[in-house]
A and B are shown apart, each in its own frame.
Chain A
Amino acid sequence: MYPHERSLVKQLSDKPFALIGINSDRELEQIRATVKEKNLNWRSFWNGPEGTGGPISAQWNVTGWPTIYILDEQGVIRYKNARGADMDRALTKLLGEMGHPVEIAHEAEGDQ
């Protein structure tokens, strides 16, 4: 997961695109360390000390992790749980609709 997300954020840094996380780890200090250590390059809401039982995932009725929503520039939900190549295709389409043709390709990178 991490390499794909890191790669997307890097590749689309000059496009109208953002990857926003909702992190459900209980220990804030610990996840901060992980972000630094694994060079996670996206911003996340923190779901609070209740972890997966936190308020954001509850409101969004999230029962499995990871759960992915893809929103267009109007904030409209356009895709759910599109991962990997499906996510790449979805982003290519949505950015294309906005007049930003992109070609997404990922370099091989060991997961960590």
Chain B
Amino acid sequence: MTQELTPKIELHRVGSPPRHRPVSRWSISRWQITLATLFVICCGVTAPSWSQEARTWTDASGKFSVEATIKELKRDSVVLVLADGTERTVALDQLSDADRRYAADYRKTMLAENAAKKKAAAESKQRGEDLKDELQAILESFSQREEQLKQSGTDAAQIRNARQPLVQETSQQLLKLVEAVPQSEVARDVYIWVVGNGAQGAEATTAIEALVQHFADSPEILPFIGLIARDLAMLEKLQSKAKDKAVKGVATFTLARQLSGADNPEFEERVVKLLKEVISKYADVSDSARRPIGPQAERLLFAVENLSIGKVAPDIIGSDLDGVAFKLSDYRGKVVVLDFWGDW
């Protein structure tokens, strides 16, 4: 169809006069690539990929046509790049209906693509991806200094002591790095690094709080629930926020265990409720040592209901070391020290 619509005449001349020297296919595409690249650098927007193909533009009368690539779409006009690399600006109302529809599609696609790009950039920032290099640099510096410590240290305790200030310093740097993007993946990695490397004090608190605040649903925090449990309020927060089955299950069981450890009769009702929840909903979830928490919860439930202070001790029926059968209840009426012992 393009070939039939001869003669090819430029629709509207802007800039240098047309050159009639034929331009090879290769040089055209190179031109187009260069222009497209310039366009991106200067304006920060990209044309839709399908618009990089040269097409035939026809005027409203249908008499004139030209093969060209769209370079820029303005409000009332379009900038075209001809096969020889020259540019032409054509008013939209001079173009055929098909070309105007093409321009409208182009505008729509470009807007959508630009919006998607902006969104991707924002998400990338949200993920903290722009911080990954800096994160890597900080961690590499840590590793180097840690290695130096290992080389110069004489014994394990000394190395451990010298390592702690380094962990604190590195933790500070890392936390500062992700301060603005606390919900990013990089931030999550930072919090886990800080907690996992045994940072103490404010750095540890910041990291644990952030993990609970923003990553209550990430299975990555599973190994650290034991550490989080040092702060009962934090553990309670995690337990109530978590939706991930494994996190919720382990947090619920850990909370029950912590509360039962206090051996406070006031907690009993709550501990029993938590343990029954673990047994009914999370029995198959495994803890960080890969043991299912259901059976553990059942044992603890028995202990809370039967082995707490104030409960009548369950009877023990067995044999002594000489094989003579006897019962714990044989000693009712006496004060009994029950001593689980072993000679090892």
Q: Which residues of A contact B (CB under 8 A)?
A: 1, 5, 8, 15-25, 28, 30-32, 34-35, 42-46, 51-52, 56-62, 65-80, 87, 91, 94-95, 98
A105→B263 CA distance, assembly (Å):
29
CB distance from A71 to the nearest CB of B (A): 4
Inter-subunit contact B340/A16 (CB<8 Å): no
Q: Can you pick out 30 interface pairs between chain A and chain B where the beta carbons lie within 8 Å of each other?
A: A1-B341, A5-B339, A16-B335, A17-B334, A17-B335, A17-B336, A18-B335, A18-B336, A19-B339, A20-B337, A22-B340, A23-B343, A28-B321, A42-B339, A44-B320, A44-B341, A45-B316, A52-B342, A59-B314, A60-B303, A60-B314, A65-B341, A68-B339, A69-B338, A70-B338, A73-B332, A73-B333, A74-B312, A75-B332, A80-B309
List of 6 A-B pairs having minimum Cβ-Cβ separation, nearest first: A61-B303, A69-B338, A45-B318, A67-B340, A24-B342, A16-B334
A52→B146 CA distance, assembly (Å):
40
Knowing that A25-B343, A60-B303, A69-B337 are A-B contacts, what are 11 other residue pairs whose CB atoms are under 8 Å apart, sorted by A's residue number? Answer: A15-B335, A16-B335, A20-B336, A35-B321, A44-B341, A46-B319, A59-B302, A71-B313, A73-B333, A75-B329, A95-B335
The answer to the question of B247 belonging to the interface, with a C-beta cut-off of 8 Å to chain A, is no
Inter-subunit contact A56/B302 (CB<8 Å): no
A82→B209 CA distance, assembly (Å):
35
Complex interface: chain B residues within 8 A of A42 (CB):
339
Residues of B268-309 at the interface with A, using a CB-CB cut-off of 8 Å, are: 299-300, 302-303, 307-309
A interface: dominant SS? mixed
Could you tell me how many residues of chain B have their Cβ less than 8 Å away from some Cβ of chain A? Answer: 36
Q: Kindly report which residue of chain B lies nearest to residue A78, judged by CB atoms.
A: B309
The answer to the question of B331 belonging to the interface, with a C-beta cut-off of 8 Å to chain A, is yes
Q: Which residues of B contact A (CB under 8 A)?
A: 263, 299-300, 302-303, 307-314, 316, 318-322, 326, 328-329, 331-344
Q: A32-B321, A73-B334, A80-B309 are contacts. A43–B326 as well, Cβ < 8 Å?
A: yes
A61→B146 CA distance, assembly (Å):
41
Complex interface: chain B residues within 8 A of A52 (CB):
342
Inter-subunit contact B339/A66 (CB<8 Å): yes
A62, A71, A73, A87: the one within 8 Å of B340 (CB): A62
Inter-subunit contact B320/A73 (CB<8 Å): no
CB distance from B193 to the nearest CB of A (A): 30
A51→B307 CA distance, assembly (Å):
21
Complex interface: chain A residues within 8 A of B310 (CB):
76-78
Inter-subunit contact A70/B335 (CB<8 Å): yes
A25→B340 CA distance, assembly (Å):
11
A74→B310 CA distance, assembly (Å):
11
A34→B263 CA distance, assembly (Å):
34
